[in-house]
Structure 1
Amino acid sequence: MQNFPLVTMLFIGVNLDFFVILLFLLQKYNFKNNLFGYELGMLLIFGISALAGQLIQNLMPAWVIGFLGLIPIYMGIKEEDHNGKTNTVSKKGITAVLLMYLASCGADNIAVYVPVLATMALVDIIVTMVYFLFLTAISLTLAYFFGQLPIIKNIFERWGTQLCRIIYVFIGLFVMLDTGLVQHIITLF
């Protein structure tokens, strides 16, 4: 039997930080790009957790995952200015959202999902995956409407690009620190 309160709290707990990032991504890329990128990222992380999480933890040390932190740092440094988001679905937008999700949430989500999913039957894992897809769409919709509030919209119009760049760099640094990559590199010297 599925424990929906538990998996709802699991989803909220590991994706709450990405909600803030979605506010920035929704200012740059349209809703569909964010939806496809976020859903693909969630499916990828969920799939890795459900199918190969234990193997990854046993074969690859956590600090290796820290290299994903270079992706948002690069995006923050090389961020292109746009006069507005496009209304078409683009591979660039989907890829940017997907990579940002993987970099900012990947290691943490895998670490949290694996123990929970390891205790579930296959049917429960599939139901949880479908439920997570639904929750992903709901959280993106909430971020979209929250981002439309006049005060939030004004902040993003005025400082959105600069704030986004700073947040991308901090996310990358956090991923590198949180996974132990920086500490591992320091111990090599």
Structure 2
Amino acid sequence: MSLGIIGQAAGLFAVTNIDDILILALFFARGAGHRGSARRIVLGQYLGFAAILAVAVAAAFGATFLPESAIPYLGLLPLVLGLKAAWQAWNSHREGGGDEEKAQTEEGGPSPLEVAAVTFANGGDNIGVYVPVFATAGIGAMSVYAVVFLVLVAVWCLAGRYFATRPVIAKVLTRWGHILLPLVLIAIGLLILIEGGAFA
């Protein structure tokens, strides 16, 4: 039975978080060459996913920290971060790239809170999937789900870093990452807002 639950947990995580690998690859590409950036990205991913897990577990027990009507508005987080990144990229291009390089040297790539905010917002729909599963699983099975999910977050981070460091992909991300990251974040934000009915 435990093996069955582990398999179900792994499958559920993979299906609900497949898009995170692309976002992580973009974050790792943005942090390339900055000391400690990988650690900050992993920390941010864990913070964001731990928040998703905490909200889902609480909701499964009947506590609602995040009303269902508020979930679509989580799209504002990646949207704002995407617009900020786009503004920085445009400013850097206009001024010859010096400011972006300086900013990246000072910041060391994306901050843990940036990564956590995007992870949490992008996982808003995950909460809706996890709550009924956790509510019917019981405490023992729910603990197995949580442990498997947290282990797989590390696997996802490794996969994101792997893709970001492959020569062909790294070359594309190095050249276009400053454009791709804002576009992906803005697209995710708009998708969350539109699919959640925020404009209805």
RMSD: 2.4
Structure 1 residues 135 and 61: alpha-carbon distance in aligned structure 2, compared to 1, 3 A threshold: closer
Q: How far did 1:60 drift?
A: 2.7
Verify: 1:56 aligned to 2:58, yes or no.
no
Structure 1 residues 137 and 65: alpha-carbon distance in aligned structure 2, compared to 1, 3 A threshold: same
- Distance of 1:135 and 1:160 partners within structure 2: 25
Which residue matches 1:136?
Answer: 153
- Distance of 2:105 and 2:132 partners within structure 1: 40
Moved more, 135-144 or 46-55: 46-55
Q: How far did 1:127 drift?
A: 2.3
- Distance of 1:87 and 1:33 partners within structure 2: 14
- Distance of 1:169 and 1:89 partners within structure 2: 22
The letter of the residue matching 1:134 is V
Which residue matches 1:187?
Answer: none
Number of residues paired by the alignment?
Answer: 179
The question of whether the paired residues in 1 share the 8 Å contact of 2:30 and 2:177 is answered with: no
Which residue matches 1:115?
Answer: 132
Verify: 1:72 aligned to 2:78, yes or no.
yes
The question of whether the paired residues in 1 share the 8 Å contact of 2:57 and 2:131 is answered with: yes
Which residue matches 2:97?
Answer: none
Q: How far did 1:141 drift?
A: 0.4
Normalising by structure 1, we get a TM-score of 0.85
Q: Deviations over 1:89-116 (max 9, x none)?
A: 89x610000000111122x110110111
Q: How far did 1:124 drift?
A: 2.0
- Distance of 1:131 and 1:86 partners within structure 2: 35
Q: Identify unmatched segments of 5+ residues in structure 2.
A: 32-36, 90-99
The letter of the residue matching 1:27 is A
- Distance of 1:148 and 1:14 partners within structure 2: 24
The question of whether the paired residues in 2 share the 8 Å contact of 1:76 and 1:167 is answered with: yes
The question of whether the paired residues in 2 share the 8 Å contact of 1:27 and 1:85 is answered with: no
Q: Deviations over 1:18-72 (max 9, x none)?
A: 1111111112232111111111111111111112255439x8343x222211111
Normalising by structure 2, we get a TM-score of 0.81
